[in-house]
A and B are shown apart, each in its own frame.
Chain A
Amino acid sequence: MKERIEIVASGFGGQGVVRLGQIIGETGVRQGLHVTMLKSHGTEMRGGYVRSQVVLSEEIIDSPMCESPDYFIALSSAAYERFKDTVPEGGLILYDPAFVEKIDEALPCRQERFPAKELSVEHFENPLFANSLVLGRVARLVDVLDKEEMLESLLEVIPKFHDRNREAFRLGYEYGG
């Protein structure tokens, strides 16, 4: 694997951005990797900006900051605008069109539209499972992350609705064939 893989997730407070980072981080730990997950947030209780920065490596990680993320999960327009330019060529932005409406076509990286909220409502009549869909998608896109370990981490961190979370994870993983 690459020396360090950087994954950033960002959106607004209450969306589960920290949980998302925590589950990705737990997966790395289960796989025996070195992992850092740094959560940062604004001063508001709800609605402010939130970011999780995950670094995965086989070596000891010095800086937990993601200066040029390999993967950026954008869950709000503000987050997209704030971090889109940090993603280098060869990097990938995964965005939910329910939150990120305007896309910058001039970016050098790949960008994948993933309608997690819409799929969650469609399958479960509830937007609550969007992040499990995202995690399934991330397990598919990030080679180093093991699908089964990721699902186990998800079920451990989120103790409720195991059946629907498992199904959402599968839908995300298999999205787009």
Chain B
Amino acid sequence: MTKPAVLTGEHFMTGDEAAAEGALAAGCRFFAGYPITPATEVAERIAERMPQVGGTFIQMEDEIAAMAAVVGASCAGVKSMTATSGPGFSLMMENLGLAVCTETPCVLVNVQRAGPSTGLPTQGAQGDMMQARWGSHGHYDLIALAPASPQECFHLTIEAFNLSETYRVPVLVMTDEIIGHLSERVVIPPAKAIKTVSRPRAKGRKDRFLPYKPGPRGVAPMAAAGEGYRIHVTGLTHDERGYPVMTVEAQAEMMDRIMGKIRNNREDIIRTEAYRLDDADFVLVSYGVSARTSLAAVDEARELGIRAGLLRLVTPWPFPEEKIRALAGRVKGFVTVEINLGQMHLEVERCAGGRAPAYLVGHPGGTIIPPESVVDMLKRISGRT
């Protein structure tokens, strides 16, 4: 049965389902995955919907294979995605690195649950934020988005594909069990109102094509396997031709390109949201589900006469270093609110550079951080207890 890829209208759906619908609306036509709580519902929805839009869903033997299939499908020219959680995210790390090195666009949704190891499979956390940044070996930059509602799971998954295709980089959608299993109103706009981006395509003579020669924004146009261009794709250090070159110079040149795409376009990539920040003495820094409760804490603190504000990280990676540095010169303190024991907090502390103190309201995982915990911290550091 054929159904539209964009289910225009008002829905009551979970974050997981909304991420699946966002992928389809963005033009994703290949999904490979392996079921895992609390990300299974993403795969479940996609498994039902892919045949309706002429796409492919495949359940692989494990998450290593799932990520490999996603990289392969993208090399063949199809927008591709997977979704997983904790243990599966760990297994995907090697091939995530392959996507970085081969500059293969793809989207990985991580519905975070409490770890380490099997942890609390059915309960939420935000403990994979540093793994998202540094989980695969070697040095690299990538992009991560953190939706704070099912509606944002829809929009930011589209955004993830657009950024991924623009920069030829894997993009992570770092959601969590609470947002993933939360049903809320999700408004899906008409298809023509949704902006989608596709990777820059190869042009010119097929026998002279250089698959890693940077174009505008430092991003090389991409040929799909089977189009006729002579391409070589490898995880080994390679030159503009894509051929392995085992030299220090080739490594430096390749790394410069991989890092530069992100670093030189930070302004275009980084998204933050400010709430009552203009006159704030104390800045809450948060993302995902924790940003929702932080928002409530700002209002409660203001009622107590504490001038609090919120900087929400829509893209935890790349981290908005400049914003934190600018604020550090004029505020009395930062409070990072996250369901882990201090991960993005380290970034805030680093960028504050000792010019403003950085505090943490953290939690080892399994539940949300209630607004009261944040207000208590604000009371303490503002001397109101």
Contacts and interface: CB of A to CB of B under 8 A. Distances in A.
B181 A29 contact: no
A35 B149 CA distance: 12
B183 A22 contact: yes
A159 B185 CA distance: 21
A63 B371 contact: yes
B151 to A, nearest CB: 11
A25 interface: yes
Given A29-B10, A43-B122, A63 B183 contact: no
Contacts of B121: 43
Interface string B200-225: 00000000000000000000000000
Interface stretch (B51-59, B152-160, B246-254, B292-300): B292-300
Contacts of A65: 367-368, 370
Contacts of A37: 12, 182-184
A5 interface: no
Contacts of A67: 370
B102 interface: no
A62 B182 CA distance: 12
B108 to A, nearest CB: 24
Contacts of B292: 62-64
A43 B178 CA distance: 15
B41 to A, nearest CB: 10
Nearest to A49: B122
A25 to B, nearest CB: 5
Contacts of A140: none
A22 B178 contact: no
B37 interface: yes
A34 interface: yes
Given A29-B10, A62-B295, A63-B296, A41 B371 contact: no
Contacts of A41: 122
Interface size range on A against B: 20 to 34
Contact of A62 (B10, B37, B184, B293): B293
Interface size range on B against A: 20 to 34
Contacts of A25: 12, 183
Given A36-B184, A40-B123, A62-B371, A29 B296 contact: no
A38 B182 contact: yes
B184 A35 contact: yes
B338 to A, nearest CB: 15
Contact of B183 (A36, A43, A62): A36
Contacts of B183: 21-22, 25, 35-39
B12 A26 contact: yes
Given A29-B10, A62-B295, A63-B371, A34 B122 contact: no
Contact of A38 (B181, B295, B370): B181
A127 interface: no
Nearest to B124: A40
21 contacts: A21-B183, A26-B12, A29-B10, A29-B12, A34-B185, A35-B185, A37-B184, A38-B178, A39-B183, A43-B37, A43-B121, A43-B122, A62-B292, A62-B293, A63-B292, A63-B296, A63-B368, A64-B178, A64-B182, A64-B292, A67-B370
Interface of B: 10, 12, 14, 37, 121-123, 178, 181-185, 292-293, 295-296, 367-368, 370-371
Q: Which 6 A-B pairs have the closest CB atoms?
A: A62-B296, A37-B183, A29-B12, A62-B292, A26-B12, A38-B182
Interface of A: 21-22, 25-26, 29, 34-43, 62-65, 67
